[in-house]
Chains A and B, each alone.
Chain A
Amino acid sequence: MSVVVVATSASEWTALRVVDSLALVATATDRFLECAPVMLRDAVTGLLPDPWRWIANGLFAIVAIFAVFGLLFAFLTLAERKILGRVQNRPGPNRAPTPTFPFAKFLGKIRTYGLAQPFADGVKALTKEDIVPDGADKVLHFLAPVALLAFATLTLVVIPFGRNLVALQLDAAVLYFFAAGAATELAVFMAGWASRNKYSLLAAMRALAQLISYELPLLLSWVPVVMIAGSLSTVAIVEAQAGWKFGFIPHWHVLTPWGFAGFVIFMVAALAESNRSPFDLPEAESELIAGHLTEYSGFKYAFFFMAEYFGMCALSGMAVTLFLGGWRAPLPFLEFIPSYAWFGAKLLALILGFMWIRATFPRLRIDQLTRFSWKFLVPLALINLGNTVVWALMSGGSPALALARWPVCAAIIVVPFVWLGRAQSASYAPRTYRYAA
Chain B
Amino acid sequence: MILPLVIIALLTIAVAAIAMTLRNLIHSALLLIGSWAGIAAFYFWAGAEFAAFAQVLVYVGAVSMVVLFAVLLTRRSRADLEVAPDAIGRGLGAMLAGGAVLGVLFGAVFATRLDVAPTAAPTASVRAIGQQLMGAHAASLLVVGVILTVALLGAVVIASTDREGGKEDAR
Residues of A near any B CB (own CB < 8 A): 9-11, 13, 137, 140, 170-172, 175-176, 178-180, 182-183, 185-186, 189-190, 193, 201, 204-205, 208, 211-212, 215, 230-233, 367, 427, 434
Residues of B near A215 (CB, < 8 A) are: 61-62
Chain A residues with CB under 8 A of B54: 175, 179
Question: Which of B33, B57, B121 meets A175, CB within 8 Å?
Answer: B57
Which listed residue (A10, A180, A230, A427) contacts B124, Cβ 8 A? A10
Q: Whole-angstrom distance between the alpha carbons of A9 and B49 in the complex?
A: 11
Q: Does B123 contact A (CB under 8 A)?
A: yes
- Residues of B within 8 Å of A185, CB to CB, are 61, 65
Q: Tell me the complex Cα distance, A170–B44, Å.
A: 12
Task: Look across to chain A and name the residue whose beta carbon is closest to the beta carbon of B50.
Answer: A172
Decide yes or no whether B97 CB sits under 8 A from chain A: no
Question: Cβ of A186 and Cβ of B47 under 8 Å apart?
Answer: no
Contact B60 A190 (CB under 8 A): no
CA distance A212 to B68 in the complex (A): 12
Which residues of A have CB within 8 Å of B169?
367
How near does chain A come to B76, taking the closest CB pair, in angstroms? 14
Additional pairs, 4, CB under 8 Å, beyond known A9-B120, A175-B50, A186-B60: A176-B49, A186-B65, A201-B72, A205-B72
B28 at the interface (CB under 8 A from A): no
- Closest B residue to A177 by CB, please name it: B53
Q: Which residues of A contact B44 (CB under 8 A)?
A: 13
- Cα(A339)–Cα(B99), bound, Å: 60
Q: Is B9 an interface residue (CB 8 A)?
A: no
Say whether, besides A9-B121, A183-B56, A170 and B49 are in contact (CB < 8 Å).
Answer: yes
Compute how far the CA of A232 lies from the CA of B126 in the bound complex, rounded to whole angstroms. Answer: 7
CB distance from A380 to the nearest CB of B (A): 19
Partner pick for B62 among A172, A204, A212, A232, CB 8 A cutoff: A212
Give the size of the chain B interface in residues (CB under 8 angstroms).
Answer: 32
Say whether B8 faces chain A, with CB atoms less than 8 Å apart: no
Would you give the shortest CB distance from B157 to chain A, in whole angstroms? 16
Min distance, Cβ B153 to any Cβ of chain A, angstroms: 14
Across the interface, do A183 and B26 meet the contact criterion of CB distance under 8 Å? no
Q: A10 touching B123 by the CB < 8 A rule?
A: yes
Closest chain B CB from A276 CB (angstroms): 20
Chain A's closest residue to B33 (CB) is A186
Give B14-37 interface residues, CB cut-off 8 Å to A.
26-27, 30, 33
**Cβ–Cβ contact A171 & B61, under 8 A:** no
B60 surroundings in chain A (CB, below 8 A): 179, 182-183, 186
CA separation between A99 and B57, bound complex, in Å?
47
Name 28 A/B residue pairs within 8 A (Cβ), A-sorted. A9-B47, A9-B121, A11-B47, A13-B49, A175-B53, A175-B54, A176-B49, A180-B56, A182-B56, A182-B57, A182-B60, A182-B62, A183-B56, A183-B60, A183-B61, A186-B64, A189-B68, A190-B30, A208-B68, A208-B69, A212-B65, A215-B61, A215-B62, A231-B126, A231-B127, A232-B126, A367-B169, A427-B171
Contacts of B132 in A (CB 8 A): none
List the count of A-B residue pairs having beta carbons below 8 Å apart: 83
Contacts of B69 in A (CB 8 A): 205, 208
The residue in chain A whose Cβ has the minimal distance to the Cβ of B60 is A183
Query: How far is B169's CA from A427's CA once the two chains are assembled, in angstroms?
Result: 11
Q: Mark B121-147, 1 if CB is under 8 A from A, else 0.
A: 101111100000000000000000000
Within 8 A of A (CB), among B57-91: 57, 60-62, 64-65, 68-69, 72
Docked pose: A11 CA to B169 CA in angstroms: 52
A423, B19: Cα distance in complex, Å: 46
Which A residues touch B48, using CB under 8 A?
10
- Residues on B with C-beta less than 8 A from A179 are 53-54, 56-57, 60-61
Chain A residue nearest to B73 in the complex (CB):
A205
Most A Cβ at <10 Å: residue of B26, B47, B57: B57
Q: Are B49 and A10 in contact (CB under 8 A)?
A: yes
User: Chain B contacts of A208 at CB under 8 A?
Assistant: 65, 68-69
Q: Is B168 an interface residue (CB 8 A)?
A: yes
Task: List the B side residues contacting A13 at CB < 8 Å.
Answer: 44, 49
Bound: A81/B49 CA distance, A: 41
Q: Which 6 A-B pairs have the closest CB atoms?
A: A182-B61, A179-B56, A10-B47, A175-B53, A179-B57, A179-B53
- Is A172 within 8 A of B53, CB to CB? yes
Nearest A-chain residue to B4, judged by Cβ: A11
Contact B126 A171 (CB under 8 A): yes
Residues of A within 8 A of B50 (CB): 171-172, 175
Residues of B near A178 (CB, < 8 A) are 57, 61
Residue picked from B30, B61, B120, B169, most chain A C-beta under 10 Å: B61
Which chain A residues border B33 with CB–CB below 8 Å?
Answer: 186
Q: Nearest Cβ distance between residue B40 and chain A, in whole angstroms?
A: 8
Which B residues touch A233, using CB under 8 A?
126
